């Protein structure tokens, strides 16, 4: 039986939130040799003729051939393969993928790839069902619903995802982030029907993942977890996923990058990324993402790289703002085996240094100037960051000058 | 029970608020940095307010039918709009619950959210001046 002292020391949830909404409707299967059983599993979601969406790099690794065999082994047909997804999914690609689904007579979509591939698949599923341009569907909760718009959303075609990075967690999220290259912005389509019905986490899918990409996408997952815990939209549900994600990242990120042949580490990283995105289902995210999105939109900085650079500065900024915020970072430090003492600034600095050290040891860039972001670009970046939805749910409300200062520090 | 009894009441209070903001020397220019045209489509009662916030141009507010073509459309019950301007609605939560729906480049609107806090007391003052304590007491 716990002592009174142990009970007092136990982590207490501060207050009772008047409202939050959490959902995680995607069926997630985890294990080995799951790709060979894709058809068996996807059939349970109503698929019969499958369009595989991927990119040329993944197509060249042989993984798509394995996926095709797995789909067909389950008695389904592969209607076709669309492999033209670029690093950042954009509107013409989304439309082309939807057109491919129609041309090939598909009734379902299998995304095999990283975040861009999965987001392409999600957005193209909307166009496949409803037509129009991707920008027509920009926004949140805008898809057609029963009962004159007040009822249950109409379903899209069955979508399954096999993530090949670890990662965005897009295989279990309800939004697709698409680039509008003409306007240099990234826009989102977010609604419940975009949730994939099935996510398949098999370390085979990351066997050929280059270590640098494993490192960057792993840092994206770490950013999701940390931001999810401290966000104004934190929740006990979100925390449960995020804290476990951090435990797994703590024990597997370095291993997976330094020993790419370690199947267990790679498999665990898939799980970590899948868990880490879950707090965003309550809207829990923060300004590391606000800072990073314009870096991707204007300077093509890979999302995980940008997050890895921006996250430590955001931690220090947030933690210094008050003990209630610092307390959450203190919990994270405790989980990571770091020093938990000191005021908010000290706690934030300790965690920030851990993140910086991790980024360095993973061989990732540590400065925005190393990845092509110029100081002269700061005003444009600030404009993007201040208008980003992630800014609204940061625990501290930043000003434009705060954003400018964060960019200057990160340069 | 709906707070507003008619479309005209929506325009009398929420519409008037937007009109005042469009002409406000301090807040008007800040809101116009959103550089967009947003349409608020309300239900219960059915009503519509379209607001032009374009950088460098005068603000314009149409109550009801409009020839302006909105870039962003926000859909909600009129009660939600009323409670929002009383400072009682968290936009993130409202979006998650479907109490607000947002279509179009929502980022343009979301960046205005930090600007609206100074507007809340102005809306309350407007209601007080009109003697509408019933609306001030909305839950």
Bridge partners of A139? Answer: A189, B103
Q: Can you give the pTM of this predicted structure?
A: 0.89
| pLDDT score recorded for residue A11 | 44
Chain A residue with CA closest to B33: the answer is A383
Residue of A387, A395, A403 best to disrupt the B interface, most CBs of B under 10 A: A387
pLDDT exceeds 90 at position A283? no
Helix (H) or strand (E) holding B7: helix B7-10
Cross-chain residue pair B101–A141, CB shorter than 8 Å: yes
The count of other CB atoms within 10 Å of the CB of residue A298 is 17
- Of A63-67, A95-99, B72-76, least confident by mean pLDDT is B72-76
**Buried-state track A313-335, b at ≥16 Cβ within 10 A, e below 16:** bbbbbbbbbeeebbbbbbbbbee
Contacts of A43 (CB under 8 A, 6+ apart): A74, A75, A76
At residue B56's C-alpha, the angle toward residues B55 and B59, to 5°, is 75
pLDDT exceeds 70 at position A9? no
| pLDDT score recorded for residue B65 | 96
At residue A22's C-alpha, the angle toward residues A18 and A23, to 5°, is 155
| pLDDT score recorded for residue A5 | 45
Per residue, the 3-state secondary structure of chain A, as one string, reads CCCHHHHHHCCCCCCCCCCCCCCCCCEEEECCCCHHHHHHHHHCCCCCEEEEECCHHHHCCCHHHHHHHHHHHCCCEEEEEECCCCCCCEHHHHHHHHHHHHHCCCCEEEEEECHHHHHHHHHHHHHHHHCCCHHHHCEECCCCECCCCCCCECCCCCEEEEECCCCCCHHHCCEEEEEECCCCEEEEEECHHHCCCEEEECHHHHCCCCHHHHHHHHHHHHHHHHHHHHCCCCCHHHHHHHHHHHHHHHHHHHHHHHCCCCHHHHHHHHHHHHHHCHHHHHCCCCHHHHHHHHHHHHHCCCHHHHHHHHHHHHHHHHHCCCHHHHHHHHHHHHHHCCCCCCCHHHHHHHHHHHHHHHHHHCCCCCCHHHHCCCHHHHHHHHHHHHCCHHHHCCCCCCCHHHHHHHHHHHC
A354, A338 Cβ separation under 8 angstroms: yes
| pLDDT score recorded for residue B117 | 83
| pLDDT score recorded for residue A8 | 40
Pairing type for strands A185-190 and B60-63 reads unpaired
Q: Which CATH superfamily is domain A211-410 in?
A: Dehydroquinate synthase-like - alpha domain (1.20.1090.10)
Cross-chain residue pair A142–B101, CB shorter than 8 Å: yes
Residues of chain A with CATH 1.20.1090.10: 211-410
Looking at this predicted complex, what is its ipTM?
0.76
Helix (H) or strand (E) holding B10: helix B7-10
- Tell me which residue in A20, A149, A387 faces B107 most closely, judged by beta carbons: A387
B30 close to A (CB below 8 A): no
Burial class (CB in 10 A: 0-12, 13-18, 19+), B131: exposed
When pLDDT is averaged across residues A343-370 and rounded to a whole number, the result is 97
Of A349 and A17, which is predicted with more confidence? A349
A140, A192 Cβ separation under 8 angstroms: no
For chain B, domains (ranges, CATH) are 7-127 (3.30.1050.10)
CA A188, CA A138: separation in Å to the nearest integer?
6
DSSP at B138: -
CA A326, CA A248: separation in Å to the nearest integer?
22
At B102 the three-state DSSP class reads: strand
- Tell me which residue in B91, B95, B104 faces A141 most closely, judged by beta carbons: B95
Percent over 70 (pLDDT), chain A: 96
Which residues on chain A are in Cβ contact (under 8 Å) with B108?
387
At B26 the three-state DSSP class reads: coil
What is the pLDDT confidence band of residue A145, given thresholds at 50, 70 and 90? confident
| pLDDT score recorded for residue A14 | 59
Which residues on chain A are in Cβ contact (under 8 Å) with B91?
392
C-alpha distances out from residue A265 to A54, A250, A251, Å? 24, 11, 8
The two structure tokens encoding residue B124 = 């309350």
- Of A36-50, A95-109, A388-402, least confident by mean pLDDT is A388-402
Q: What mean pLDDT is reported for chain A?
A: 93
At B41 the three-state DSSP class reads: strand
Give the CATH number of domain A27-206: 3.40.50.1970
Which residues on chain A are in Cβ contact (under 8 Å) with B93?
19-21, 233, 283
CA B107, CA B112: separation in Å to the nearest integer?
9
Distance to chain B for A121, nearest Cα, Å? 20
Distance to chain B for A328, nearest Cα, Å? 21
Cross-chain residue pair A283–B98, CB shorter than 8 Å: no
Percent over 90 (pLDDT), chain A: 81
* Each residue's pLDDT tens digit, A166-191: 989 999 999 998 988 887 778 889 89
* Each residue's pLDDT tens digit, A296-326: 989 999 999 999 999 999 999 999 999 999 9
Cross-chain residue pair A397–B114, CB shorter than 8 Å: yes
Distance to chain A for B131, nearest Cα, Å? 31
What is the pLDDT confidence band of residue A389, given thresholds at 50, 70 and 90? confident
CA dihedral of residues B128, B131, B133, B134 (deg, nearest 10): -130
Report helix angle A303-319 to A400-410, nearest 10.
120
CA A138, CA A60: separation in Å to the nearest integer?
32
Cross-chain residue pair A391–B110, CB shorter than 8 Å: yes
B28 close to A (CB below 8 A): no
> Which candidate, A127, A79, A128, places its Cα nearest to that of A104?
A79
CA B6, CA B4: separation in Å to the nearest integer?
6
**Residue A126: half-sphere exposure toward Cβ, Cα within 13 Å:** 34
> Which candidate, A63, A66, A58, places its Cα nearest to that of A37?
A66
B 81-100 → A contacts, CB under 8 A? 91-93, 95-98
Cross-chain residue pair A283–B96, CB shorter than 8 Å: yes
When pLDDT is averaged across residues A361-383 and rounded to a whole number, the result is 97
Q: Which residues of chain B register pLDDT less than 70?
A: 139
| pLDDT score recorded for residue A354 | 98
Cross-chain residue pair A139–B114, CB shorter than 8 Å: no
B46 close to A (CB below 8 A): no
| pLDDT score recorded for residue A10 | 41
Residues of chain A with CATH 3.40.50.1970: 27-206
pLDDT exceeds 50 at position A352? yes
Taking the CA atoms of B21, B27, B28 and B34 in sequence, report the sign of the dihedral they define: negative
When pLDDT is averaged across residues A67-95 and rounded to a whole number, the result is 95
Burial class (CB in 10 A: 0-12, 13-18, 19+), A241: buried
Residue of B38, B40, B70, B111 best to disrupt the A interface, most CBs of A under 10 A: B111
């Amino acid at each position: 039986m716990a002592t009174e002292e142990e009970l007092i020391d136990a982590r207490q949830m501060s207050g009772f939130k008047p409202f939050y909404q959490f959902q995680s409707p995607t069926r997630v299967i985890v294990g080995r040799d799951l790709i060979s059983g894709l058809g068996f599993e996807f059939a349970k979601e109503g698929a019969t003729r499958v369009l595989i969406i991927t990119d040329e790099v993944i197509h060249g690794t042989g993984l798509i051939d394995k996926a095709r065999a797995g789909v067909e082994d389950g008695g389904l047909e592969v209607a076709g393969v669309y492999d033209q997804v670029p690093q950042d999914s954009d509107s013409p690609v989304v439309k082309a993928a939807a057109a491919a689904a129609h041309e090939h007579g598909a009734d379902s979509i299998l995304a095999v790839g990283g975040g861009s591939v999965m987001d392409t698949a999600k957005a193209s599923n909307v166009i496949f069902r409803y037509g129009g341009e991707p920008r027509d569907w920009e926004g949140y909760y805008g898809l057609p619903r029963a009962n004159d718009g007040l009822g249950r959303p109409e379903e899209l075609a069955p979508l399954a995802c096999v993530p090949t990075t670890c990662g965005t967690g897009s295989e279990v999220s309800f939004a697709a982030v698409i680039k509008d290259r003409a306007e240099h912005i990234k826009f989102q389509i977010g609604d419940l029907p975009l949730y994939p019905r099935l996510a398949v986490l098999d370390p085979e899918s990351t066997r050929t993942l280059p270590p640098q990409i494993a490192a960057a996408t792993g840092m994206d997952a770490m950013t999701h977890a940390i931001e999810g815990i401290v966000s104004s939209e934190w929740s006990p549900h979100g925390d449960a996923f995020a804290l476990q994600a951090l435990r797994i990242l703590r024990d597997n990120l370095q291993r997976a990058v330094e020993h790419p042949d370690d199947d267990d580490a790679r498999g665990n990283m898939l799980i970590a990324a899948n868990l880490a995105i879950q707090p965003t289902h309550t809207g829990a995210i923060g300004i590391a993402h606000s800072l990073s999105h314009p870096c991707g939109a204007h300077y093509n900085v890979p999302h995980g790289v940008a997050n890895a650079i921006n996250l430590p500065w955001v931690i220090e900024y947030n933690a210094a703002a008050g003990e209630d915020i610092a307390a959450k970072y203190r919990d994270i430090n405790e989980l990571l085996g770091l020093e938990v003492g000191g005021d908010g600034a000290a706690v934030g600095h300790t965690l920030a240094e851990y993140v910086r050290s991790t980024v360095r040891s993973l061989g990732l860039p540590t400065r925005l100037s190393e990845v092509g972001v110029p100081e002269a670009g700061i005003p444009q970046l600030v404009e993007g960051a201040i208008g980003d939805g992630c800014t609204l749910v940061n625990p501290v409300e930043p000003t434009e000058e705060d954003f400018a200062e964060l960019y200057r520090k990160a340069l | 029970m709906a707070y507003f009894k008619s479309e005209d009441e929506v325009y009398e209070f929420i519409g008037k608020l937007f009109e005042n903001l469009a002409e406000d020397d301090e807040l008007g220019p800040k809101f116009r940095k959103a550089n967009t045209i947003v349409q608020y489509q309300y239900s219960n009662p059915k009503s519509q307010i379209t607001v032009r916030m374009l950088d460098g141009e005068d603000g314009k507010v149409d109550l009801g039918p409009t020839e302006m073509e909105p870039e962003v459309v926000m859909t909600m019950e009129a009660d939600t709009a009323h409670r929002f301007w009383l400072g009682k609605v968290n936009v993130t939560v409202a979006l998650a619950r479907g109490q607000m729906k947002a279509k179009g480049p929502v980022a343009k609107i979301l960046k205005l959210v930090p600007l609206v806090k100074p507007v809340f007391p102005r809306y309350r003052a407007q209601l007080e001046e009109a003697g509408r304590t019933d609306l001030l007491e909305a839950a």
